[in-house]
Amino acid sequence: MLKKVNHYAKRIKEGRLKEVIAQLKWIYRYARSHKFAIGIYTLLGLSGTVVSLLGSLVSRDLVDIITGHNTGALLTTFCLMIGTTLGGTFIGQASSYISTKVGMTVDNEIKASLFDDIMNVEWESLSKYRSGELVARWNGDASRISSGILNMIPNLVIYIFRFFSSLILVIRYDASFAIFALAGIPISLFISRSSMRRMQKNNMGTLKVSTELSAFNQETFANVQTVKAFDMLSLYSKRLRVLQKEYLNVQLKYQKAEILNAIIMTFVSMLVSYSAQGWGIYKVWSGAITYGTMTMFITLSTTLSSTVNSLLGLFPTAIGIANSSKRLMDLTNLPKEDYGNRDEVKAFFEKHKDEGVGLSIRDVTYAYPKSDIVFEKVFAEAHPHEVVAFVGPSGEGKTTMLRFLLSIIRAQNGEGFICAGDGTPENGGECMKLSASARQLFAYVPQGNTMFSGTIASNMRNVKEDATDEEIIEALKLACAWRFVEKLPNGINSEIMERGGGFSEGQSQRLSIARALLRKSPILLLDEATSALDIATEREVLKNIMCDNYPRTCIVTTHRPSVLNVCSRVYSISDKKCTVMDKDAIEKMITDF
């Protein structure tokens, strides 16, 4: 006994109790808005128990009337029997309807809330998880919790009420039957206690492998072109089967624990039931009770033992909910981005929209977690009506610089600012620090194909929901995309397949640029956004951007020096340094390319 006390004391010291309390609070915040519906569901369950007990009494009277042990109104008793049966059916169906409604509503709300939480997590923290794993947790674990919210507490109340009401009824008529009904409880508790620990471990293992399988499928289907191109079909087919086998093994291991537990519980239940039947037959033969009373006792004894099993059956559900809540809390507890000054940023832009908004980088040093420094002590600036370039070898930090400007990552030292017009912090210009809230002032064209499935128009309206067809066409013209879109049978309503399927890389890039221009943001970031265009089209796109009267600040990263002649300034990122290139260095880069 002392050993057990020490074990639980150790678990409390390790923080397990705090962890459980935190999980319960986390789950409660989703359940509290549905307290009324959950209460109705619980009341229906309690009503169903009352109707079931009344049915047992009516059944007893009906058997006694038929066997001649009691005289009474057969028709009235028979009608009551039908009434309790129909009442139980109605309550059961109503409970099922409410269960479905509340379950789906809670499921949707949890997933919507989790979606917001996950999307607001800082990029560096979230990037540690594969997209397939995020989907698996968001979908599977959230559904497990929403189902558990409705089942755990209401069913716990219902089962406890059913147990004690049945027990009281048994004791009311013959307390000796209660001995048989209660005899199996210690055995059931002992068996469940030994199996719960194994089930918890196996359940977590099942969740882990299931997530691995989901992540593998997601990643493979997203990169099917690469898999085909490298003739890796057999390799990935083999990997899938390895994961499937691992999942099967952990699932069977979990299932074996459940089966063993169910078999023992069934054996205990049968022992209790048969013992009660034997005792009932003896009592009937001795004339102590009637056939109807014996039938009622046997029914109630079965109800008692099955209710105990149902209560114990809640433990696996609780284990699943606890494990799922822990996995989701691991995500929701990650550092969040701060959007607290959105209104201030909006007001700043409204005040200076005529002169435009520029960028100023001051003494910035950045290193990825557990990695070397990418760049250090960077000073750079870009102003309205300018095209500023960041050039340098691949992997030296050009894309990282844009991520810093977008506040997707945070520098270890230094600051970035949005500034009015040509202002900088040094010359007394009006400036605000870069933050997640400042992204509303940016339009971004990242590397690679970033178009979504849907129509061209729907892709454009992702960044400006109220955009007219004319505005979309104008943006397509600026990006030199209208020349091929207008030839499509459905024009801007033509379908784009997932990852830009159906269009060439150059066409997809121009569509991405058009989408960014449609946003009419004061700052435009182009990350190798013209790499798939021919030089003439590339120059034309940049010329259109700069000839636009809108006071836009444009920053481009590029490997190709062909655009450098149209840039106001060129910064070279290399060897962890960022320096301004002079005209001679730019000319040499263009010549050597």
441 pLDDT band (50/70/90 cuts)? very high
Out of 332, 355, 384, a domain closes at 332
Answer yes or no: is pLDDT of 502 > 80: no
pLDDT band at 145, cuts 50/70/90? confident
Which residues span the domain enclosing 122? 2-332
Q: Residue 7's pLDDT is what?
A: 44
Question: Based on the domain organization, do 324 and 431 belong to the same domain?
Answer: no
Residues of the chain with pLDDT > 90, as a percent, come to 13
What pLDDT sits at residue 372? 80
pLDDT tens readout for residues 149-178: 767 778 888 888 888 887 887 777 777 777
In a domain, 402, yes or no: yes
Q: Give yes or no: residues 349 and 313 share one domain.
A: no
What is the mean predicted confidence (pLDDT) over 330-345?
A: 88
16 and 44 fall within a common domain: yes
Distances (CA, A) of 395 to 305, 321, 444, 541, 590: 67, 43, 19, 26, 20
Cα–Cα distance, 365 to 413 (Å, whole number): 5
Q: CATH no. for residue 147?
A: 1.20.1560.10
pLDDT band at 130; cut points 50, 70, 90: confident
Last residue in a domain, options 287, 304, 332: 332
Give yes or no: residues 393 and 536 share one domain. yes
Both 301 and 347 in one domain: the answer is no
**Phi and psi dihedrals of 169, rounded to 5?**
-65, -40
Shared domain check, 353 and 320: no
In a domain, 337, yes or no: no
Average pLDDT, integer, range 421-448: 87
CA distances from 137 to 331, 332, 511 (A): 9, 11, 33
Same domain, 573 and 464: yes
Q: What is the pLDDT of residue 205?
A: 67
Residue 399 lies in a domain: yes
Instruction: Give me the CATH number covering residue 570.
Output: 3.40.50.300
Q: Are residues 244 and 391 in the same domain?
A: no
Q: Which residue is it, tokens 């400007």?
A: 405
- When divided into structural domains, the chain yields a total of 2
Evaluate whether 592 touches 562 at the Cβ level (below 8 Å).
no
Q: Is residue 208 part of a domain?
A: yes
- Alpha helical stretches, state H, 174-232: 176-222, 224-229
Q: What one-character-per-residue DSSP string does 104-150 give? A: HHHHHHHHHHHHHHHHTB-HHHHTTS-HHHHHHIIIIIHHHHHHHHH
Report pLDDT for 8.
Answer: 40
Tell me: do 356 and 211 sit in the same domain.
Answer: no
Residue 159, in any domain of the structure? yes
Please compute the mean of the pLDDT values over residues 343-368 and round it to a whole number: 91
Q: How confident is the model at residue 185 (pLDDT cuts 50, 70, 90)?
A: low
Out of 332, 358, 393, a domain closes at 332
pLDDT of residue 571: 92
Q: What is the mean pLDDT of the chain?
A: 79
Q: How far apart are alpha carbons 285 and 102 in whole angstroms?
A: 51
- Tokens 């809330």 label which residue? 113
Using CB atoms within 10 A of its CB, is residue 120 exposed (0-12), middle (13-18) or buried (19+)?
Answer: middle
CA angle 314-297-281, nearest 5°?
130
Q: Is the pTM of this model over 0.85?
A: no
Domain shared by 185 and 328, yes or no: yes
Say which residue the tokens 């969740």 belong to: 207
Please write the tens of the pLDDT for every residue from 31-89.
Answer: 777 777 778 778 877 887 787 777 777 777 767 777 665 555 667 777 777 877 787 77
Question: 97, 95, 60: which is closest to 80 by C-alpha?
Answer: 60
| Per-residue model confidence as pLDDT tens digits over 210-228 | 778 777 877 777 777 667 7
Rounded to an integer, what distance in angstroms lies between the CA atom of residue 37 and that of residue 106? 11
Residue 122, Cα to own-chain centre: how many angstroms?
15
**Degrees, nearest 5: CA angle 157-163-165:** 95
Q: What integer pLDDT is reported at residue 519 of this predicted model?
A: 87
Residue 264: inside a domain = yes
In a domain, 360, yes or no: yes
Mean pLDDT over 204-215 rounds to 75
More confident residue, 500 or 363: 363
With respect to residue 121, please indicate whether it lies within any of the assigned structural domains: yes
The verdict on 368 and 280 lying in the same domain is no
> What is the DSSP track for 280-303?
HHHHHHTTSS-HHHHHHHHHHHHH
Do residues 391 and 280 both lie within one domain? Answer: no
Query: Average pLDDT of 513-539?
Result: 85
At residue 201, the pLDDT reads 60
Q: Once rounded to an integer, what is the mean pLDDT over residues 259-286?
A: 73
